[in-house]
Amino acid sequence: MVTIPITTKKRSEFIDITSQIEEVVRASKIERGVCIVFCPHTTAGLVINENADPSVRRDIINHLEELIPYQKGYTHAEGNADSHIKSSLLGSSLSLIIEGGKIVLGTWQGIYFCEFDGPRRRNVYVKLIKEK
């Protein structure tokens, strides 16, 4: 397992971690298999989406903020219930195919760590499974 440390700077932000995941796969020298990416935080998540136009990330964050506002009378005592809801919708793990020593992504796709309760120090874990 490989740990990727992440330091977020805003309450809500998407951080492109594609190159870090690609480097883990490249360093492993695994030609074919599966790459599992896991976020162990209940107020953050992972998503694959467009990485060509940064406005897509802003649109997603803005729409999530509209759907699930920061303060809306939630009962969770810590004051970050919206963050838990957003991370639940996006999810905490991704499974990626490794083929030819590289992760398989669409032309415009990138892998994002999604912070909803920052700024914080976070970790993402990567586990590789080699095809027999």
Largest separation between any pair of C-alpha atoms in the chain: 52
Residue 123 is predicted with a pLDDT of 98
pLDDT score for 130: 98
Which amino acid type is present at position 68?
A: I
Q: Residue 80's pLDDT band (boundaries 50, 70, 90)?
A: very high
In CATH, which superfamily holds the domain spanning 2-130? YjbQ-like (2.60.120.460)
- Determine the Cα–Cα distance for residues 75 and 40; give it in Å rounded to an integer: 23
- Per-residue pLDDT of 3-24, as tens digits, reads 999 999 999 999 999 999 999 9
Tell me, what's the pLDDT at 93?
98
In the chain, where the domains are located: 2-130
Q: What is the pTM of this model?
A: 0.95
In which residue are the tokens 């080699």 written?
130
Cα–Cα dist 17/19, whole Å: 6
Instruction: Return the residue matching tokens 């998503």.
Output: 47
**Residue 114, pLDDT score:** 98
For 83-112, the pLDDT digits (tens) are 999 999 999 999 999 999 999 999 999 999
Segment 67-87 shows an average pLDDT of: 93
Phi-psi region of 55 (alpha: psi -120 to 50; beta: other; left: phi over 0): alpha
- Give the chain's mean pLDDT: 97
pLDDT for 72: 86
Sign of CA dihedral 43, 62, 5, 124: positive
Helix (H) or strand (E) holding 57: helix 54-67
DSSP single-letter state for residue 25: H
Q: Is the confidence at residue 71, as pLDDT, over 90?
A: no
Instruction: List, in sequence order, the alpha helices (H) in the chain.
Output: 18-28, 54-67, 81-90
